[in-house]
Amino acid sequence: PFNPETQISFFLPETQHVELKIYNVKGQIVKTLINETLQAGTQIVRWNGENDQNRSVASGVYFYQFKTDSTLQVKKMLLMK
């Protein structure tokens, strides 16, 4: 659980294109955090509980999808206000 923000960290073994998106339980995209090419190494991204329109989202379960050319991961988060 997090409030008011959370950190998502990951390691890239090489420079590659990364997409990191937040989804609600209905499968709708709430926020696109990253959609760009990143350098190799450890990366830390913060999500402050806002959507793409910079409005606060409701408390509840959210999922983040981490996608590269070779990886696809989905993990669950719980926002509690």
Q: Using one digit for the tens of pLDDT, what is the confidence trace for 17-30?
A: 999 999 999 999 99
Kindly report, residue by residue over 32-62, the tens digit of the pLDDT.
Answer: 999 999 999 999 999 999 999 999 999 999 9
- Report whether pLDDT(1) > 80: no
In this prediction, residue 79 carries a pLDDT of: 95
Structure tokens at 14: 């090489």
Longest dimension (CA), the chain: 37
Contact in structure between 25 and 60 (CB atoms under 8 Å): yes
Global pTM value: 0.92
